[in-house]
Structure 1
Amino acid sequence: MTKVDLSQFKFDGMNREAIDDLNTLSQEDKDQLLLAGVVADESMRSASYLQMDHSAVHCQSHDEGVEILDIKDALKKYDGLGEYYWTLVDKDKDEFTRAANDNLHGGYFIRVRAGAKIKDPIQSCLMLKSENVGQNVHNLVIIEEGASAHIITGCSVAHGTKAGAHLGISEFFIKKNASLTFTMVHNWGESVAVRPRSAGVVEEGGTFLSNYVLLKAVKDLQMYPSITMNGANSVARFNSVVVAPKGAHLDLGNRVIMNAPNTRCEIIAKTIAAGGTIINRGHIGAHAVPSKGHLECQGLILGDGRIWAIPELDGTAEGVELSHEASVGKIAQNEIEYLMARGLDEAEATSTIVRGFLNTDIMGLPDRLQREIDKQIEELQASDAM
């Protein structure tokens, strides 16, 4: 992990005015939010949260089953949230967790009430609006018993912003027979350092599904979210699509611990090194039977770049079933030739293969974002051809 000098960034004084309606944002800000999966039109969203620099500027629920607050307001309302706050992530883990604890700027608190089936996604965005801002946030998500929801959360810089630091703590609590789909889209800048620290716990019959998309330039990212499955018949799945352009250093992965019987997990990561470096980690620990886990790391190198795939399986009980597949390489020539024989030129064939490799259809992203993903693929091919 490369060194991040926090003294280079402004962690105080970058406050912003409240925004009642996201439609009043500038078109440039709307476009940047959209590239992080967040839409200004909230008619198809059950709740929204937006943080700019050091301020929560917009926080509103449109569904009685969803409570959404700035974390500072939630700490006041619920007397410190002692049962949840800083219980899954160690506040003294490293300098980044300590910074987030000592100088909290905000973050979202999302509670889906027991039994509520939330139809429309909940959306949130953490944006670096100004240059060289350091942002400390703590997010807390509680899906109560029998509830279900989809959260689309985006992290982004404003148009023209290139440098900054984002330190994000996230804690997830999936209660008995509850379900959460959590889709995160990162739209950072070329000189942004990102240090998320995330953990979650899943109770009996619970389901945690995570989608992660990173296709834009970022200087330095290090993240390793960990989910602990403490309840029988629980499920966890991670699906990641990641691109590292030239100059990017990404150290990321997922960790799942299965502590109860009849648990299942899957970690699928698809990565492309297009000039940058990717360290792709995956860990499944199984400590109860029956349990099944599968880990898959697929890496594609376009031009220059480097990928380390580091899969780990840890079984401590007789009868656990764990498997992994890992591959790193380039596009197979016979695949290109197959498509060329059907009328595509070499560039079109390569783009088709890469687009299929980076398939995000299952994530339920906005159409405009999907078009931008396709555009990014074309840019990858153009840079690879140079």
Structure 2
Amino acid sequence: MFELDNKPGDVNLEDYETDAENHNYAEELSEIEAADAEQFLNVGVDIQEIRRSGTFIQKDSSVVHCKTCQDGIEMMGISQAMEQHGWLENYIWKNVSPDADKFTSRTKEKPHEGYFIRSLPGMKASHPVQSCLYIAKNKFSQHVHNVVIAEEGSELHIITGCATAPHLDSGLHVGVSEFYVKKGAKLMFTMIHDWGENVNVRPRTVTRVEEGGVIVSNYISLRPVGSLQMYPTTYLEGEGAVARFNSVLVAGKGSHLDVGSKIVLGAPGTRAEIISRGITSGGTIIARGNLIGKVAGIKAHLECKGLILNDGLMRAIPELSGYVPGVEMSHEAAVGKIDQREIEYLMARGLDEDEAVSTIVRGFLNVDIEGLPANLKEKLDKAISESQKDMM
């Protein structure tokens, strides 16, 4: 299921601890420690909960805050959800097998909570819900299991930020996520990572979309990370289902990012798009995209573009597989450096060389991401500006 290049960034699970102390529950986000709160802000979590329909925060293995602000949205820790909803056994470990790899097996053996988020039939969220999965204990291996269900005709936007405490030296995060988008529902999922230079990250995500359903997934990783391997897989199972995946990646020296998306178009009229932007300034980015057309009448497009600013590796791996006549799929991939003519053009208009390069980099990373709230877009633009300064 997870066809990733495990050798360069392989992880020894025995190097990490699986037990952590219980952290106190905070009834209000104002009770969260200031140092932690600042890290939450860096990944899009609004401590004031302005323009948010709910909040879930997990620190190590403890749910430290959970609240919904709109009727029709359920949000809680996965263990509480299993107790409250007996029918959840029909969803958990159905998209992802515990035997998929050693990381999913470890999550099954030693679970550390995770979130359950559900939008009830016909409910349209007025604002996004937000979640944060946070590691504070050094050398901790965090294994979370998340389940998201957008019921028939509902609309839900989740902003999830993942981060570590400033003092953290090393850690491992494994996130098993199972998403279900029912008939006519729309799920937008925006994930922002800020893990740390010596943290290894292994998300494992599978989504199923029914007739007329829409999944929009945005992934942003601008800060240094030890290694990241993710290959979210989406099955468009109902007629007219749609999937759109966007990713913005920066790999500094020492970072190894193996990031891709796989979409299986298995019903008539399904549509898919994968857009990836990556910059390496000394690290490695393996950008994968895999579109599989199973029936006639589907349309899909894959676009992967990468810039190499300093020594590093940028590898684009686009794949298209059509199984029947009548599929319509395309891709474009480009890897290279900044065009000197663009730099000269901006310098002729008054910028020095560094300013010209910075402007080009910022424009390259500023992909128009659908559905981002204005305040989060401003934070993202600021983070992109800071990242391009670091790259220079």
TM-score by length of structure 1 reads 0.97
Q: How far apart are 1:380 and its partner, in Å?
A: 1.1
Query: Among residues 323, 333, 337, which one is paired with 1:326 in the alignment?
Result: 333
Q: How far apart are 1:80 and its partner, in Å?
A: 6.2
Aligned to 1:225: 232
The range that moved more, 342-351 or 237-246, is 342-351
Q: How far apart are 1:24 and its partner, in Å?
A: 2.1
| 1:10 corresponds to 2:17 | yes
The range that moved more, 363-372 or 157-166, is 363-372
Aligned to 2:210: 203
Q: How far apart are 1:367 and its partner, in Å?
A: 2.6
Query: SS state of the match for residue 131, structure 2?
Result: strand
Query: How large is the Cα RMSD of the aligned pairs?
Result: 1.1
1:36-185 equivalent positions in 2, closer than 5 A: 36-79=43-86, 81-185=88-192
Does the aligned pair in 1 maintain the 2:20–2:137 contact within 8 Å?
A: no
Does the aligned pair in 2 maintain the 1:126–1:155 contact within 8 Å?
A: yes
Q: How far apart are 1:162 and its partner, in Å?
A: 2.9
| 1:306 corresponds to 2:313 | yes
Could you list the runs of 5+ residues in structure 1 that have no partner in the other structure?
382-386
Q: How far apart are 1:232 and its partner, in Å?
A: 0.7
For 2:81 and 2:297, locate their aligned partners in 1 and report how far apart those are by CA, in whole Å: 39
| 1:28 corresponds to 2:35 | yes
Q: Deviations over 1:141-183 (max 9, x none)?
A: 0000000011000110012213100011000000000001100
Does the aligned pair in 2 maintain the 1:15–1:55 contact within 8 Å?
A: yes
For 2:384 and 2:166, locate their aligned partners in 1 and report how far apart those are by CA, in whole Å: 18
| 1:367 corresponds to 2:386 | no
For 1:146 and 1:46, locate their aligned partners in 2 and report how far apart those are by CA, in whole Å: 18
Does the aligned pair in 1 maintain the 2:20–2:140 contact within 8 Å?
A: no
The range that moved more, 10-19 or 130-139, is 10-19
Query: SS state of the match for residue 200, structure 1?
Result: strand
For 2:322 and 2:169, locate their aligned partners in 1 and report how far apart those are by CA, in whole Å: 43
Query: SS state of the match for residue 349, structure 2?
Result: coil
Query: SS state of the match for residue 133, structure 2?
Result: strand
For 2:210 and 2:16, locate their aligned partners in 1 and report how far apart those are by CA, in whole Å: 39
Aligned to 1:384: none
Query: SS state of the match for residue 159, structure 2?
Result: strand
The range that moved more, 208-217 or 35-44, is 35-44
For 1:338 and 1:380, locate their aligned partners in 2 and report how far apart those are by CA, in whole Å: 21
Q: How far apart are 1:342 and its partner, in Å?
A: 1.3
Percent identity for Structure 1 against Structure 2: 49
Query: SS state of the match for residue 146, structure 1?
Result: coil
Does the aligned pair in 1 maintain the 2:56–2:66 contact within 8 Å?
A: yes
For 1:96 and 1:263, locate their aligned partners in 2 and report how far apart those are by CA, in whole Å: 31
Query: Among residues 346, 349, 355, which one is paired with 2:362 in the alignment?
Result: 355
Q: How far apart are 1:103 and its partner, in Å?
A: 1.1
Aligned to 2:274: 267
Q: How far apart are 1:366 and its partner, in Å?
A: 4.9
| Equivalent AA in structure 2 for residue 28 of structure 1 | A
For 2:112 and 2:186, locate their aligned partners in 1 and report how far apart those are by CA, in whole Å: 29
Aligned to 2:3: none
Aligned to 2:283: 276
Query: SS state of the match for residue 115, structure 1?
Result: coil
Q: How far apart are 1:361 and its partner, in Å?
A: 4.8
The range that moved more, 326-335 or 15-24, is 15-24
Q: How far apart are 1:338 and its partner, in Å?
A: 1.1
Q: How far apart are 1:360 and its partner, in Å?
A: 4.5
Does the aligned pair in 2 maintain the 1:14–1:133 contact within 8 Å?
A: no
| 1:378 corresponds to 2:371 | no
The range that moved more, 73-82 or 326-335, is 73-82
1:286-305 equivalent positions in 2, closer than 5 A: 286-305=293-312
| 1:234 corresponds to 2:241 | yes
Q: How far apart are 1:14 and its partner, in Å?
A: 3.0
For 2:381 and 2:22, locate their aligned partners in 1 and report how far apart those are by CA, in whole Å: 32
Q: How far apart are 1:372 and its partner, in Å?
A: 2.4
Q: How far apart are 1:121 and its partner, in Å?
A: 0.6
Does the aligned pair in 2 maintain the 1:38–1:125 contact within 8 Å?
A: yes
For 2:343 and 2:190, locate their aligned partners in 1 and report how far apart those are by CA, in whole Å: 32
For 2:77 and 2:180, locate their aligned partners in 1 and report how far apart those are by CA, in whole Å: 17
Query: SS state of the match for residue 240, structure 2?
Result: coil
Structure 1 stretches (4+) deviating beyond 3 angstroms? none
Query: SS state of the match for residue 44, structure 1?
Result: coil
Q: How far apart are 1:374 and its partner, in Å?
A: 1.3
TM-score by length of structure 2 reads 0.95
For 2:380 and 2:330, locate their aligned partners in 1 and report how far apart those are by CA, in whole Å: 33
For 1:191 and 1:335, locate their aligned partners in 2 and report how far apart those are by CA, in whole Å: 35
For 1:288 and 1:113, locate their aligned partners in 2 and report how far apart those are by CA, in whole Å: 31
For 2:318 and 2:233, locate their aligned partners in 1 and report how far apart those are by CA, in whole Å: 14
